[in-house]
Amino acid sequence: MNQSEQKDQLIKKIREIDHPEASLLFFRLLKDVLDVTNLADSDPRLAIVVLKNAVGISVNINVYLALRLTKTRNEGVCLWFAFPKDYFQDGKHPLTKSKDSQSRLNGPQADYVWLPLPFEQADLDRYDPDAKQQWENCLLEFVEKARRSPHIKKHNSAAYKAAIDEAYRGEIIALAAPGWHENQVNEGTKPYATLDTNGGQHQDSVPPKRPDIPLNYLLYGPPGTGKTYYVQQLRREFPDAHFVTFHPSYSYEEFMEGIRPDLVGGQLSYRVKKGIFQEACEEALRKAGYASFGSCLDEGPARRAERFAAAPGHLLVIDEINRANLSAVLGEIITLLEPDKRLGAGNELWLTLPYSRNRFGVPANLYVVGTLNTADRSIALLDTALRRRFAFREMPPDPELLADIAIEGIDLRALLRTMNKRIEALYDRDHTLGHAYFLGLKTYEDLCEAFRGKIIPLLREYFYDDWEKIRLVLGDNERQGKDYDEQLVRRMVLNERELFGEEVLIQPDAYTYEINPALAGGAFDQLPKEAFIRIYRK
């Protein structure tokens, strides 16, 4: 059978299955099979078979079934996966709830079990990543079991090409289901506001749920000012949000996609793995009713814009965004992030990814929220391109949140306000203290512990152990008038003759410093309340 005949055979079978979205998911999973196993189209261990006597397509590696798409009268459209049998030993896994699954698990003893999953549950990336990993482990084992598939003569190269070439896949689906993009959206991925045939919204449609923030939003401020709390509130509204924390060694390959080593059963392989940003974008696509970037980009711009406008939002949170090398991590994504360059926008752009060679764009319903700690890095040092694409919201310390909190006569609002004014005068506003350091305090012991374990160490970091500046912030300088036992940081004259036996230091006045022993030693009941009150009151 030549390639043209194989193509016709494949189109005819997809027509019989009559479920374009299931077919697209099958090809995406087939691409995963090929990425995991590194099997070429001509490899004798691989056979993609368009079934003659059944409505389905099978992927065989050696003598093993790796993946299958079927449609039957009883089960409807299903995708079959192979799993290690011991993965379901307790019998409580969600995939084994059906009677059919239980009968398969209790059948003849074997190393593997093959389970059919309904289309709605078959996207393992979305519904069960752990099961996806187990399936991929089986694929690697299948490759090593033998050297040739008994079905090699039935191999359909058109199906292989449809898995690795998005444009060709789009052509196959378009020929098998003409007009599908225009009118059909699967119920499982339907956006909240569906479109009628004239392009308008149905009268009974529900407005899409979206956060009331810009598409690209960056919260910045000193530590303890509520940035993470704000993000947590957003995540409660959007519990399926993706979350990542940047760090200095974070890379493009982790964020977008990269070739990563995978060791299973002693076999080392390399495959392209999606990063969290690509996963978040795919989830945003699904909320707009698309199964893949290919199906999205094959649709007309006007229809694409309508779908994204009617889709609910999806949230990606990047904590500590400034700790990574942003230019290296974001790469070409920085251009696609711009609101008018997103898929569904007026000047939409997309590109071909460097490793997978798939087409990619940033959906118009993806909201990217970052948090930036100004004590680590000022926003003035951020890449200009990034600053232009993000809306910024400063989150400064808010002493008013402490207005109703007083601990044994100590006014926490006045305490924080005074200390921050001094820090801003001695350093800058990016290194002030956040109100969160004081919000959870209930007792005098809590306050002392906060100063001992958090605030004084932070001030030491800010001022590089310049104790005189720390004393100024804490009101321990002479002009403030604290008694010696009230000072949180004490200055003591260094007696050179007693220490060295002679005068050896050049400085006319040599000092050493210590944290009040009552505070440092945890004897908080011996530390006068005036040690804190006289920070803000003479």
User: What are the residue ranges spanned by the domains of the chain?
Assistant: 3-180, 216-394, 403-536
Mean pLDDT in order along the chain per 10 residues (538 residues): 89 91 90 86 91 90 92 88 80 53 48 88 82 89 80 91 85 82 42 40 60 94 93 92 94 92 67 90 89 81 92 94 91 93 94 89 96 82 82 95 92 96 95 95 96 96 94 91 92 75 66 93 95 92
Rounded Cα distance between 410 and 264, Å, is 61
pLDDT for residue 506? 58
How buried is residue 21: exposed, middle or buried, by Cβ count under 10 Å (0-12/13-18/19+)?
buried
Rounded Cα distance between 258 and 256, Å, is 7
pLDDT for residue 291? 72
Rounded Cα distance between 268 and 257, Å, is 19
Rounded Cα distance between 166 and 28, Å, is 10
pTM: 0.70
| Strand residue runs (E) in 215-356 | 216-221, 242-245, 257-264, 267-274, 314-319, 351-352
Over the chain, what is the mean pLDDT?
Answer: 85
216-394 has which CATH code? 3.40.50
Rounded Cα distance between 82 and 114, Å, is 4
